Structure 1
Amino acid sequence: MKSMNEFFNEKPIKGFLQTMDEFFKRPFPFDAGFRLDLRETDNDYIVTAELPGVKREQIHIHANGNYLTITVENNELETREDERNNSFQRKYLRQHSSRTITLPQSINEKLVKASYRDGLLQIKIPRIKGTVIEIDD
């Protein structure tokens, strides 16, 4: 039993097991999405997305039927040149995250209002009020 304990506590195996533990605590290195909240008032649906550190031009909002999709896309090209070592490095970074929510009614894109301030995106979608139909006797 002591030999088995020593085997699992030695450096290569212990490091591997710690890496496995970290993997299962957070299986995806990047968050699959961002925090999204939907509130309903008497007149509007209010969608709030937390997007800290995101620039306004990286946010895309699409409405299709009763689906609202918020997409955050970051494309960066990083170049580094070292004249001393005669090396040139170019790295292209692409990050993409998207969330779609379904509303109980169709979205009129012309009436939707969106604002973005301090890392908080807020979208107001007016509710469409139907008419009440009374039943005849």
Structure 2
Amino acid sequence: MSSMLPEDKNNGKRPLPEPFRDLFKSMNDFLTEKPVRGFLQTIDDFFKTPFPVGSGFHVDTVETGKEYIITAELPGVKREQINLNITGNYLTISVENKELETEEDDINKIYRQRFTRQQSSRTISLPHAINEKMVKASYKDGLLQIKIPQEKGKIIEIED
């Protein structure tokens, strides 16, 4: 029993040897002082409030025989944030969110502005070129629906 170290009267645990106590205190001070604290807070904020549509959003493509119906689920997204781009046989749906946050603290004379821009997109490939003049798109209640008519290619007969 005499080989045991004396216990701390406050919490029943053995006190840290002096060099480790100083090391932990230094690390704690480093992580709680600016600018590191601000950097760590920024990382925490990023993971607490990700873009509503995340890294992607759900898209369904249905072929009816006459047309392709592409449906994208975009809850919480405004119509102005959606962009559709057609290139050849590719349709790209992009969603962009821009926000400007302003904080003012008159007591401590701190004024801060933060601009955030988040973007997410999905590209759908169809088996033929898309005629952009024939595409119809509608957006209601967080559901984007795009109708693209199927085009029949010209049939070429092979001679003997």
2:75 matched residue in structure 1: 52
1:86 aligns with 2:78: no
Report the aligned-residue RMSD. Answer: 1.6
Between stretches 124-133 and 82-91, larger displacement belongs to: 124-133
User: What's the TM-score once normalised by structure 2's chain length?
Assistant: 0.63
- Take 1:125 and 1:84, find their aligned partners in 2: how far apart are those partners? 58
* Regions of 4+ moved over 3 Å: 131-137
Q: Cα distance, 1:126 vs. partner?
A: 0.6
2:125 matched residue in structure 1: 102
- Structure with higher strand content: 1
Query: What is the percent sequence identity of the aligned residues?
Result: 64
Q: Which of 111, 127, 130 does residue 150 from structure 2 map onto? A: 127
List alignment gaps of at least 5 residues for structure 2: 1-49
Q: Cα distance, 1:101 vs. partner?
A: 0.9
Aligned residue for 1:110, secondary structure, equals helix
Q: How many residues align?
A: 109
Aligned residue for 2:80, secondary structure, equals helix
Deviations 1:22-77 (A, max 9, x none): xxxxxxx6632100110001211011000000000000000000000000001111
- Take 2:154 and 2:88, find their aligned partners in 1: how far apart are those partners? 20
Aligned residue for 2:118, secondary structure, equals strand
For 1:100, give the aligned amino acid: T
Kindly report which structure 2 residues correspond to 1:104-119, keeping only aligned pairs within 5 A, or say none.
Answer: 104-119=127-142
User: What's the TM-score once normalised by structure 1's chain length?
Assistant: 0.73
Structure with greater contact order relative to length (CA < 8 Å, sep ≥ 6): 1
List alignment gaps of at least 5 residues for structure 1: 1-28
1:61 matched residue in structure 2: 84
